[in-house]
Amino acid sequence: MVDWIIGLRFVCEYCTRHGSGKRWYENARNFSKELASTDYVIDFNDRYFVREPKPGSRVILEYDSTRPIDVEERSKVDTYYKKYLHHQVVTHDEATSVLRLAGNLTEDHEKTIVALPCICRYAVYGKDKSNACFGIAFSHEYTKRFPDYLGGNHQYLSVDEAQEHLENLITNEDLVHAVSALGVPYIGMLCNCDMKVCSPYYQRVRLGIDSPFHKGHSAAFIDASKCTQCGTCQEVCSFNVPIISDDESIMTINPESCFGCGVCVKHCPEDAIVLEPFERKLGF
């Protein structure tokens, strides 16, 4: 995601290029109708949202780590994601802030927030009753052209309704929030990912590229005085980050490996884990 280091700290390329001094998903222009109305974004979304994967056509995301990587495929997928589809993990607080920011643009968009089925879930499970994803700062022109499995189930929501829906989602499931560009840097989606079926993350792991699914700007840290080594964080982490220390005295989390989703914080029975802003040295 980044090509340089400043003072031993990796700088988010998307923030540098599209953040105007902020994190790229805090820059109001990236939600704007001006950007959403460009031919570049419209052409991509017209192609992206009219496709209809066969329900249940894909299996749970498993991959063979011994299988050689197809270099040509890796280059093609990497280029595609960097140009059009950028997913980055955000905390729950950041996810609600993104919804509020999108809501401030109501007059700039015909419909601001739409809850819709998750394409990844649909391709694996054949359904998504929870409408787990949000189209944000969204143009009604897109939703009018949704295929049946999206258009028949989507719901337009106010900011308050969207936040309530988000709270219900995370109460019932362990989801990873990710802001998603639909034609970089237009932020068209807030995904709430089931990591067992998330296609961008699968491509990252399978092909060894970071462009589809990036770590966030936070990381989890364990309070050694509270940790009882119960292993709950290890069980719930989708990214296999927490491990038991060499002397088996504490669970440990390498912040550079942590994606910053906060699921372990939610589940820790001792409240021994906190999510804090983290400046990465090894990239996103």
- What is the identity of the amino acid at 261? C
Q: Report percent pLDDT > 90 for the chain.
A: 43
- Tell me the domains of the chain and their CATH numbers: 24-62+70-214 (no CATH), 219-277 (3.30.70.20)
With beta carbons less than 8 A apart as the criterion, state whether 273 and 225 touch.
no
In this predicted structure, the answer to whether residue 33 has a pLDDT above a threshold of 90 is: no
Instruction: Determine the straight-line distance between the first and last CA of the chain, rounded to whole angstroms.
Output: 6
Q: Is the dihedral of CA 62, 64, 65, 67 positive or negative?
A: negative
Per the model's pLDDT, the better-predicted residue between 139 and 222 turns out to be 222
Q: Given the DSSP bridges, would you call strands 9-10 and 5-6 parallel, antiparallel or unpaired?
A: antiparallel
Confidence of residue 106 (pLDDT cuts 50, 70, 90): low
| pLDDT at res. 58 | 62
Q: Given the DSSP bridges, would you call strands 85-89 and 213-214 parallel, antiparallel or unpaired?
A: parallel
Q: What 8-state DSSP symbol labels residue 20?
A: T
Query: Position of tokens 């050694």?
Result: 224
- Among 17-26, 103-112, 137-146, the range with the most confident prediction by mean pLDDT is 17-26
| pLDDT at res. 240 | 93
The pLDDT tens digits for 53-89 are 777 666 666 667 778 888 999 999 999 998 898 899 9
91 Cβ contact list (under 8 Å, min separation 6): 177, 216, 218, 260, 261, 262, 275
In this predicted structure, the answer to whether residue 216 has a pLDDT above a threshold of 90 is: yes
CA-CA distance, 275 to 254, in Å (whole number)? 13
CA-CA distance, 1 to 215, in Å (whole number)? 10
